[in-house]
Amino acid sequence: MLEPAMLGSRFRRVIVNRPNLRIPFPPQFMERLRGKTVTAVDRRGKYLVVELSSGESLVMHLGMSGWFYVAKIGDRSREADPHDHVVFLMSSGQSVLFNDPRRFGFMDLAGPGQLAEYPAIKKMGPEPLSNAFDAHSLARACKGKRVSLKVVLLDQRTVAGLGNIYASEALHHARLSPLRKASSIATPAGSPKPDAVQLARSIKAVLAAAIKRRESPYRSARFRVYEREDQACLRPGCRGSIRRIWQAGRSTFYCPTCQH
C-alpha cells in the first residue's frame, strides 16, 4: 500500500499534529524528510523501513492500532479524525496519513548507515518466511531454554515479526502445547527434533495463509484458536474446547486436548 504512493517520490510536505506517539518524534523530523526522495520501502519484522535519498532511514511501527490511509492529495471522501497524527504529502500526488488511536506506534529516523545498528533491529532474528528461518534456526534458539515455547516464539531474536496471535495459531497448527519447555524440541547440541521441524513448517504455513486471507473479516474464519475461548476446537476429530491462559503478560489460546 505504501510503496506505490511513496517509492521514487519526494516528501513535498510533512504535517505532524502532536509532539509524540509512543516516543517523541526525532529532532527536526519534518525538516529531515522534506524534499527527500524515497529510494526503497521495506519491512524488518514489525517495522516499516523507508530509505531516503539523504542516506537516513525512516523507521515506523504501527503499534496495536496504527494504520495508514492513502489517497490523492485534496481527497475529501474521508472525514478528518483526531487520531490523524502524521500526514506525508508526496510528489506522486498521494497523501499518506498515519492514524493511531492508542498511540502505541512510533516514527523515528536512523542516520546514514545506522539502520543495522538501530536498537530494535540490531538483534532481530530471521524473517519467518525466509530461507534463513527453519527448524535448525528454531532449535538453536530453543536449545537449553526452560521457558515455554510460546515465550521463545515471541522473542524477536528467535524469529522476526511473529506476534502473539500467530504464535498461538502456529502452535495449534503444529499440535504443540504453548506450555511445553522450549528445550523439548531441540537436542542438547541444538539440533532440531521432529517437533521443531513441524513447528517451523507451521509458522510458515499460518503466515502464508493469513497473507492470502487478508480480505477476510478480522475475526470469524481467520483464526483457529485466537479469541475463541470456550468454543469447540476446529481440528477435525478433536472434541476439545479452546482455553485461554496468560503467558508473559499476553493471552494464549490453545486446545489442551490436541496440543501436547
Residue-wise pLDDT for 142-166, tens only, equals 999 999 999 999 999 999 999 999 9
Residue ranges covered by each domain of the chain: 2-122, 135-224
220: pLDDT strictly greater than 60: no
213: pLDDT strictly greater than 80: no
Q: What pLDDT score does 80 carry?
A: 86
Contact 152, 142 (CB under 8 A): yes
Percent over 70 (pLDDT), the chain = 97
- Under the banding of pLDDT at 50, 70 and 90, the label for residue 238 is very high
- Under the banding of pLDDT at 50, 70 and 90, the label for residue 219 is low
Q: What pLDDT score does 214 carry?
A: 56
What global pTM score does this model have? 0.82
Residue-wise pLDDT for 198-209, tens only, equals 999 999 999 999
Q: What pLDDT score does 76 carry?
A: 87
Which of these CATH numbers, 1.10.357.10, 1.20.120.1780, 3.20.190.10, 3.30.420.40, describes 2-122? 3.20.190.10
221: pLDDT strictly greater than 90: no
195: pLDDT strictly greater than 70: yes
Which of these CATH numbers, 3.30.230.10, 1.10.4030.10, 1.10.1060.10, 1.10.8.50, describes 135-224? 1.10.8.50
- Under the banding of pLDDT at 50, 70 and 90, the label for residue 212 is confident
Residue-wise pLDDT for 44-78, tens only, equals 998 999 999 999 999 999 998 899 999 999 998 88
Q: What pLDDT score does 149 carry?
A: 97
169: pLDDT strictly greater than 90: yes
